[in-house]
Chains A and B, each alone.
Chain A
Amino acid sequence: MRPGREMIDDPFAIQTDDISKHFGAVKAVRRLSISIPKRGLTSIVGPNGSGKSTLVNLLSGVLPLDGGMVVIEGAILKAVKAHENPAHGLTRTFQEVRLFDQVSVWDNIMVVLTKRGLFSALLERVKPAQRDRARRILETVGLWDKRDALAENLSYGQRKLLEIGRAMAMEANIYLFDEPFAGLFPEMVVKVKEIMNHMREQGDTIVFISHNMDIVRELSDHLIVLDSGSLLAEGEVDEVLSEPKVIKAYLGV
């Protein structure tokens, strides 16, 4: 973390204070204040268009905040900059799988393992330690055999796993997974669950968006329910899911 930045001692990995985001007249996120506890799995659920992905984009600096502020790992931020994510110990995946398509699987992982500075990157060649790390990650997500293939030639599930592998390579404290289970075969779902459980055991904070309530119930320690860009409920999974307004708004039963 940068010296001179305003810091607070924070029991939460991420807090947002009144953050807003609008696209033209559409208010995707309206004065949203949530808290994501440190360590463990937090899931974000909500109907389509409720602002889940926008929230993740705001937290990772992909979209600029229109108002409010966030606290990530104790750093108080009025503007989140994407390139400062590693400094906050934060990384993410994208809902619509954004890999470096015409680049090999190997380089998709390697590119996040290397130095960030211009001149150090210019002088840096791949070192055995980086190779070992990339290899471990590719073996974990089961893509070691595909290392030379272009990312665009992978199947959807493999692409999803590669993206998760790329996030793992960041060795962050906070992982934001945008719909990691969507469109995956059952055996791949198991693999992703394993990865996330392993991260939890290591004491990382995992936030994921999902529409699959079974997985949410099974995995999460903490649940946030969004509706139309606002917070509907947050807290322990079972408590939240038994709240009448949640049942009415989201589960529709």
Chain B
Amino acid sequence: MQPPADSQTRSAPNSRSPKALLAAAKTNVELWANLLIIGWALGFMLWKGVGFAIAIGTVFAIWAILTVSLNLVVGYTGLLSVGHVGFFGIGAYTVAILTSRAEYEQLRTEAIPTFGWPFFAALPVGVLLAGVIAVAVGVVFNRFRDDIYVLVSFGFAIISFNVFLNWRGLTRGAFGIHEIPRPAVGGWVLDGELEFLVFALAILGVIVLLSWLIVTSSFGRVLTAIREDEQAIAVFGYQTTHYKLAVWTISAMMAGLAGGLFAGWTSFVDPNSFILLESMLLVAIVILGGLATIWGSLLGAMAFVLLEEGMRFLPFLPAIHVGQARLVVLGILLVLLMVFRPQGLVGRYKL
């Protein structure tokens, strides 16, 4: 006897009943979503070549770390946070500032402190800082729920953006921080795109594994119970505030890791990468892929990256409008999905 904890393994009691047929059709939506997105990715790779695939692969890895980690909070625990981008930014800026080198920074009009740390020393600090701030923020956030929770997390995204923009002595505001060094171990520098992709995918793999271990543990089961009825699970002896704070912090640290990776990859950070809109996109992707499913978040992130990159090649769409158009398309997709498939592409739970 193996009780299925996973959404994919439900047994149909009677394969001929209309209900079972409907269930089979639903399974097909999942199957088609998988086939479409993976097929699209492969087709794209064949069409545009391996170099292009490597570049968008890294974008995918960073988005996927963000969506998988956000799903722990939004999908599993039911805390609808639109503040995730704040931790992404904290990770990115920590790495950018700690790795900043005097030889570049002196050339700038506005000097910021230079530390010259190697990437791999700065990355853990970024992750830890995201965690520390997450604990402080989470203690406050734990007092709220539902719609108010959305609003306060909204506030966090705005505050963090404004800190990045206006703490000019540290972040150089709108000018951003340039020349962030690529990750290097000893003499080996990850300056090739392929090396970086492998590195990013390896980190994504670790994040997925960690998330999987979390959601399949007893801890994960309590998270879903908190999502369904926090007061009821508290009656059975769980300190729900501790659980919420823990998963919130873990998720924020993962976002901080994605931020550090992002800084190391682009070599440049400015506040525009950490606007509220990016958080909204993240939430949209998580819902699109499916709440409380790790695979759904991976699939959603991949669909989003393919959509965004694919739209560059639409002949009637000027390149400068791609940024706006992706939001329109994503918005339409989200509305359609909420109407026809509220559980997302491969999910089982509804918001």
Q: Which residues of A contact B (CB under 8 A)?
A: 60-62, 82-87, 91-92, 94, 98-104, 106-107, 110-112, 114-116, 118, 121-126, 131, 134-135, 147-148, 166, 170
Q: Min CB distance, A215 to chain B, in Å?
A: 24
| Interface check B1, CB cutoff 8 A | yes
Measured between alpha carbons, how far is A37 from B195 in the docked complex, in Å? 71
Q: Is the CB of B228 within 8 A of A121?
A: no
A83 contact set on B, CB distance < 8 A? 234-235, 237-240
Q: Is the CB of B218 within 8 A of A124?
A: yes
Q: Given the known A-B contacts A92-B235, A111-B233, are A102 and B3 also in contact in the complex, defined by CB atoms under 8 Å?
A: no
- The segment out of B170-178, B219-227, B317-325 that lies at the interface is B219-227
Measured between alpha carbons, how far is A75 from B246 in the docked complex, in Å? 30
Q: Is the CB of B3 within 8 A of A148?
A: yes
Q: Given the known A-B contacts A111-B221, A122-B219, A125-B216, are A61 and B235 also in contact in the complex, defined by CB atoms under 8 Å?
A: yes
Return the contact of A170 from the options B214, B236, B350 (Cβ within 8 A).
B236
| Interface check B26, CB cutoff 8 A | no
Nearest residue (CB) in A for B228 is A100
A61 contact set on B, CB distance < 8 A? 234-235
B120 contact set on A, CB distance < 8 A? none
**Chain B contacts with A in 223-277, Cβ cutoff 8 A:** 224-225, 227-229, 231-240, 242-243, 246
B239 contact set on A, CB distance < 8 A? 83, 116
Q: Min CB distance, B244 to chain A, in Å?
A: 11
Measured between alpha carbons, how far is A105 from B246 in the docked complex, in Å? 26
Q: Is the CB of B217 within 8 A of A122?
A: yes
A135 contact set on B, CB distance < 8 A? 1
Measured between alpha carbons, how far is A103 from B246 in the docked complex, in Å? 21
Task: Point out which of B3, B214, B217 has the most chain A C-beta atoms below 10 A from its C-beta.
Answer: B3
Return the contact of B221 from the options A99, A114, A131 (Cβ within 8 A).
A114
**Chain B contacts with A in 263-310, Cβ cutoff 8 A:** none
| Interface check B11, CB cutoff 8 A | yes
B350 contact set on A, CB distance < 8 A? 102
Q: Is the CB of A87 within 8 A of B232?
A: no
Q: Is the CB of B229 within 8 A of A100?
A: yes
Return the contact of B237 from the options A84, A94, A118, A125 (Cβ within 8 A).
A84
A123 contact set on B, CB distance < 8 A? 217
A147 contact set on B, CB distance < 8 A? 3
Q: Is the CB of A100 within 8 A of B234?
A: no
Measured between alpha carbons, how far is A114 from B348 in the docked complex, in Å? 24
B234 contact set on A, CB distance < 8 A? 61, 82-83
Q: Is the CB of A111 within 8 A of B222?
A: yes
Q: Is the CB of B219 within 8 A of A106?
A: no
Q: Is the CB of B219 within 8 A of A101?
A: no
B224 contact set on A, CB distance < 8 A? 100, 102-103, 107, 111
B214 contact set on A, CB distance < 8 A? 122
Residue-wise, chain B 191-231 has the 8 Å CB interface mask toward A (1 for contact) of: 00000000000000000000000101111011011011101
Q: Is the CB of A118 within 8 A of B243?
A: yes
Q: Is the CB of A118 within 8 A of B225?
A: no
Which 5 A-B pairs give the minimum distances between C-beta atoms?
A114-B218, A86-B237, A100-B228, A121-B219, A124-B218
Nearest residue (CB) in A for B9 is A148
Q: Is the CB of A115 within 8 A of B218?
A: yes
Q: Min CB distance, B229 to chain A, in Å?
A: 5
Measured between alpha carbons, how far is A82 from B232 in the docked complex, in Å? 9
| Interface check B154, CB cutoff 8 A | no
B229 contact set on A, CB distance < 8 A? 98-101
Nearest residue (CB) in A for B7 is A104
Nearest residue (CB) in B for A166 is B236
Return the contact of B225 from the options A111, A126, A148 (Cβ within 8 A).
A111
| Interface check B187, CB cutoff 8 A | no
Measured between alpha carbons, how far is A166 from B235 in the docked complex, in Å? 11
Q: Is the CB of B246 within 8 A of A110?
A: no
